[in-house]
Every structure is written in C-alpha cells, then in structure tokens.
Amino acid sequence: MQAVGKHALANEQADYEQLYYAHRARVLRLCHLLLGDPDEAQEVSQEVFLKLHRALLADGAPINWGPWLKTVAVNACRDRRRSRWWRWGRTSDAYVDNEHASSFLTPEQSALSQETRQRIWRAFNSLPGRQKEVFALRHLEGWSTEEVAGALQLSSGTVKRHLFRAVQHMRAALGGAK
C-alpha cells in the first residue's frame, strides 16, 4: 500500500515537472503581458504552478492542463492588478527596452525596430484589463470565442466587442509605427 502511494507521488512529481517545463515560458509570458511587470509576472507564475502542484495532489482526474494553467494565470493576474494600487509608491511606470527581459529572441534576431516594439508594448499596456485578457487569449493564445467567454465568464458578444476594441486600439498605435 505504501509502495503504491510512493509510486503515485512519484508519478505526480513527474507529471508536475513535465507540465512545468512544457508551459512555464508561455504562462510567464502571459503574466508579463497582463501585468506589464516582469518581477510581478515571476511571482504570479510561481503562484500558478503552486496551484498546479496542489491540483495534481488533490485531483487525479485528467484535465487539459494547458488551458487550465492559462485560466488560473489570467485570474491570478487580475487579482494582482486589483491589489496593485497598494504598492503605488514602489515604482514608476516608465518602460526601458530591456533586451533580456522575457525574450524569446536575442536583440540581433529581433525583426522589429525598438520604437515599434515600444509603441506596441505601450499600446497593449494601455488597454483596459478585460480587453488585454481577451486579446491575449483570443488572438495570442488562439482560443475560440466560446473558450475565452467560458474562462472569463463573459458572453460571446462581449468577448467579440472587447476583441474588436482592442484590435482597433492596437492598430491605431501601430499606424504611426509603420
């Protein structure tokens, strides 16, 4: 009996590591996009993987862990944004083009000019929270409208409206960069 328990625990540990390495980068990137702050993104993604660990221990039922992790990440980022004004005095919101921050490409590999990246980043950061979430899940993560609506507890019509407004806003910012 004890051997079976140990075996299950070892399986869960293996599952956790597999899931962690498979999804860590995308979850971190999503948190960075939604929070606009790499340090907070690190903290929130750690919380997300802590929840994954607990979920693996608590529930053996097979879950589609990728969307589950991203939904948990979006909710955790929203909670973090709500409590952010307490730490208002901590930092300014000026962005610097830190080439090493959460990058998948080196600066040499980057195809876009620094100005274009800054412009897109600022435009994305100035979106309202819901529009950011919808744009990230619908366009960047490739979820369907219904999946986004289910994860964010919105109607399909609201998801479409948020997506349209976000795209308009982002394109307006892009207009000056092209």
Partner 1 sequence: MNRCVSDETLVAIATGEGGAAERTHARQCPRCAARAAALADDLRLLRHALLEEPLPALDRAPRARWIPVAGALAASAVLALAWAVAPWRTAPAAQPIQVAQVSNLALDASVALFDPSPNTIAQVSDGAYIEAALNGGWPCGGLGLYDVDCRGADVAALYDE
Tell me whether residue 53 or residue 169 sits nearer to partner 1 (CB atom).
169
Q: Show contacts with partner 1 in window 45-84 (CB under 8 A).
A: none
Q: Does residue 7 bind partner 1 (CB under 8 A)?
A: no
Among positions 11, 18, 103, 126, the unique one binding partner 1 when judged by CB under 8 A: 103
Q: Which is nearer to partner 1, 155 or 168 (CB)?
A: 168
| Residue 171 near partner 1 by CB under 8 A | yes
Query: Position of tokens 């939904």?
Result: 71
Stretch that binds partner 1, among 6-14, 45-53, 71-79, 137-145 (CB under 8 A): 137-145
Q: Which of 113, 48, 40, 104 is nearest to 76 (CA)?
A: 48
Q: How many residues bind partner 1 (CB under 8 A)?
A: 49
Euclidean distance between CA atoms 68 and 102, whole angstroms: 22
Contact between 105 and partner 1 (CB under 8 A)?
A: yes
Q: How far is CA 30 from CA 75, 115, 139, in A?
A: 11, 22, 12
164/139 Cα distance (integer angstroms)? 11
Alpha carbon distances (Å) from 84 to 35, 91, 114: 10, 11, 28
Q: How far is the CB of 104 from partner 1 (least distance, A)?
A: 5
164 binds partner 1 (CB under 8 A): yes
Query: Are the C-beta atoms of 64 and 92 separated by less than 8 Å?
Result: no
Residue 176 CA to residue 178 CA, distance in Å, equals: 6
Interaction of residue 93 with partner 1, rule CB under 8 A: yes
Site residues for partner 1 per CB under 8 A? 29, 32-33, 36-39, 88-105, 107, 110-112, 116-118, 120-121, 124, 136, 138-140, 144-145, 160, 163-164, 167-168, 170-171, 174
